[in-house]
Amino acid sequence: MKRLQPDTLIRNPTGRPIVASRVIDCQARRVWNMVGTFSGFDVFIPALSHIEMTGTGVGALRTKFFRDGNQVVEQLNSRDEHAMYMTWTTLYNTLGVARLWAAINVDALETQCSRVTWTLIAEPEDAAQVGFEQFVQAFAESALDNVSRLLGPQ
């Protein structure tokens, strides 16, 4: 009998990063308070009905429930409150994504102006899936448009 060895199904995706970025007329800390809250993405992603958390801090899991019935489970890999960035990995989903790693960060440009950048590296379950990168890009762009609408000048 073969001796059992440590194994895992988790591996980082490979491929071209997909990047969405917005300059927002808003103080960086205020933008970070929205996009840097791992449990709060349902505030700026209307497709989410709610989020359930398991644990806190790095290593915590979030389950995102979409209004259309899809679910995504993600693990927080890193988070730096001072530098205003965090990274996470998708562990399970019903969206047809094989692997996904993401990062979001906020940079202060001026006192009342900041840039939020969402970087994703993702692989579809079906390598022949048409439009996968465009879907991921459009999802991230739409979410950041919502952040800009919610926090920008009223």
How many structural domains compose the chain?
1
CB atoms within 10 A of CB 143: 22
Residue 54 lies in a domain: yes
The string of pLDDT tens digits covering residues 143-153 is: 999 999 999 77
Position 15 confidence tier, pLDDT thresholds 50, 70, 90: confident
State residue 44's pLDDT score. 97
Which DSSP helix (H) or strand (E) runs through 142? helix 132-151
Q: Please state at what angle helix 28-35 crosses helix 132-151, rounded to 10 degrees.
A: 130
Residue 133 lies in a domain: yes
Domain residues for the domain of 144 are 18-151
The string of pLDDT tens digits covering residues 17-70 is: 999 999 999 999 999 999 999 999 999 999 999 999 999 999 999 999 999 999
| CATH number of the domain bearing residue 67 | 3.30.530.20
What gap in Å lies between CA 100 and CA 90, rounded to an integer?
5
Residue 59 lies in a domain: yes
The string of pLDDT tens digits covering residues 89-143 is: 999 999 989 999 999 999 999 889 999 999 999 999 887 778 899 999 999 999 9
